[in-house]
Chain A
């Protein structure tokens, strides 16, 4: 099997970002909240990326910030994914009024833009990591629900599933042995896309001051902290913003590859 270069680049950087998140305390040269220099010092041997708006080492903040961003986004993705795919599969296989009820509820949740709905909720909820994960995970599970339900409905009407039903197979065999293996690749690609969405969404909330609260900080929050430097020609805010973009692009490249490789039910080996 040949992996295209774009996917290799994506895999390499995605892996790099995750390793960085896991080993943050070992890699970071300075502490998270340690003030080590002047405000917005330029790049130097001591501070590879310079310092931030109150004189903390930007590289160290980036490493810790990446850890926060990736951790929260990953947890939100796990939540949205397990919730959405479980309910989606259940709705597709059971059908009937349960399917109708859940699908209409999802329609309703999706009738309000996610960011707006999140802002409404965050205007009254205490803003902390648990709230963020719950809000992001639940709101985004609607999209996973729609996809997994659609995929499962498509597979469920195929003759091979009917053949299994005629054989007398149990529902668990049909879900796990007949439907799931064929739904895997679109779902894996979707996992990547949902993670990107979570990263961008969290960053946006933090950028708006409604996400991760100081002194802890994620990449979006760091953009907010350093954005006032831009008008003085100080690009510190661009560093975390670029990191978010790089992470999103890397994951996108991988997801794109997974999606293209097995876009339908024709594939045999692999997957």
Chain B
């Protein structure tokens, strides 16, 4: 279809990848919808429990439109979701989109600051590890990262709370933020959750950064640059970096996608008013429309980040940018 247009290969690949992303998101929305269908009984049964009277069940089914065929309900749901209407909560009858609005902001705020701390730190540690490869700093960093990959978020979280909030009293154990707080207050409220999130993604990010840089540093063209008598600094910044940027950005973006998952647990630990907390609460209440809406948003963010990672490697590839 695009072949006839003689597009630049980069444009073509980018367009293909974006189209694939949209397709994937659509498929994910189908799965999220299906995920709530393939059950013993149906949503109404799940909400009201085994002891529900047939009349109550019938009423609820009517109210939720459960008597329509599944594909119709899916299209309705998707159409509404695309227009910003995520439906109403079963448990409290409120509009889901409004409730999510401010919480999504809070979650992004938390994730943003975690990224601000974790990304430079991970790259720095990755560089250190490469610089002192096979020597003690490298070994120490890799041992610590092996350990921190094994630690669940709530262990790190409660240890921090136990020592820094309870014993030392430096921070509060609950990270409450609201709109009227100024930035500084908000930041000091999220120090502990940001620390936990940082530790959770740091290890992965650092390991992958190390591998990405090592891969570039072992290339023959780095040796060529060294044999020109260039300084270590010039070799790294002029020859290694242009080739390492794409893999590093890739690593960073993939790990930001990890944040999406980490944030759910961290919000519960610190009773933080974000999307994760909201999602978990409503899973327990079996509030299906809320869970679907949250699931869709999390999936969209995740798929979007993966898409960005791929786009970066396409756009920075010299072979694609300057075809033969």
Complex: A in contact with B (CB within 8 Å): yes
In this assembly, does B158 line the interface, its C-beta being within 8 Å of a C-beta of chain A?
A: yes
Asked whether any CB of chain A lies closer than 8 Å to the CB of B11, the reply is: no
Q: Which of A79-87, A169-177, A243-251 has 4 or more CB atoms under 8 Å from chain B?
A: A243-251
**Cβ contact of B32, chosen from A112, A203, A232, cutoff 8 A:** A112
A113 CA to B276 CA in the complex, in Å?
A: 13
Roughly how many angstroms separate A115 CA and B279 CA in the complex, as a whole number? Answer: 11
Interface stretch among A14-22, A145-153, A181-189, A205-213? A205-213
User: Are B155's CB and A112's CB within 8 A?
Assistant: no
For this complex, 6 residue pairs linking A to B, each with C-beta atoms less than 8 Å apart, are A108-B31, A113-B261, A120-B35, A200-B152, A204-B152, A245-B152
- Cβ proximity bits B130-169 to A, threshold 8 Å, 1 near / 0 not: 0000000000000000110111111100110110011100
Chain B interface residues toward A at CB < 8 A? 24-25, 27-28, 31-32, 35-36, 39-40, 43, 46, 146-147, 149-155, 158-159, 161-162, 165-167, 173, 257, 260-261, 264-265, 268, 279-280, 282-284, 286-288, 291-292, 294-295, 298-299, 302-303, 306
A107 to B265, CA, bound (A): 25
| Residue in chain A with minimal CB distance to B279 | A119
State in angstroms the CA–CA spacing of A121 and B283 once bound together. 9
Is the CB–CB distance between B154 and A113 below 8 Å?
A: no
Q: A108-B24, A230-B166, A252-B146 are in contact. List 14 more A-B contacts (CB 8 A).
A: A112-B31, A116-B260, A119-B264, A123-B288, A124-B35, A203-B152, A204-B154, A204-B265, A208-B265, A210-B280, A231-B165, A231-B173, A238-B158, A245-B150
A119–B264 Cα gap in the complex (Å)?
Answer: 11
Tell me if A115 and B264 are in contact (CB < 8 A). yes
Contact A120 B155 (CB under 8 A): no
Task: Kindly supply a per-residue 1/0 record for chain A positions 179-202, scoring 1 wherever the CB is within 8 Å of any chain B CB and 0 otherwise.
Answer: 000000000000000001000100
Interface residue total, chain A, C-beta cutoff 8 A: 45
Secondary structure call for the A interface:
helix
Known A-B contacts A113-B302, A119-B295; the reply to A108 vs B28 at CB < 8 A is yes
Pairwise interchain contact A238-B162, C-beta atoms closer than 8 A: yes
Residues A124 and B288 in contact, CB atoms below 8 Å apart = yes
- Tell me the complex Cα distance, A210–B154, Å: 15
Q: Which of A116-169 contact B (CB under 8 A)?
A: 116-117, 119-126
Any chain B CB within 8 A of the CB of A53? no
CB of B265 to closest CB in A, whole Å: 6
Query: In the assembled complex, which residues on chain B have CB atoms less than 8 Å from the CB atom of A231?
Result: 161, 165-166, 173
A256 CB-CB contact with B under 8 Å? yes
Set of chain A residues within 8 Å of B158, measured between Cβ atoms: 223, 227, 230, 237-238, 241
A112-B31, A125-B39, A210-B283 known; A248-B151 Cβ under 8 A: yes
Contact status B146-A207, CB under 8 Å: no
Cβ B286 vs Cβ A123 within 8 A: yes
B299 touches A113 (CB 8 A): yes
In this assembly, does A242 line the interface, its C-beta being within 8 Å of a C-beta of chain B?
A: yes
- List A residues 238-271 near B (Cβ within 8 Å): 238, 241-242, 244-245, 248-249, 252-253, 256
Residue of A nearest to B295 (CB): A120
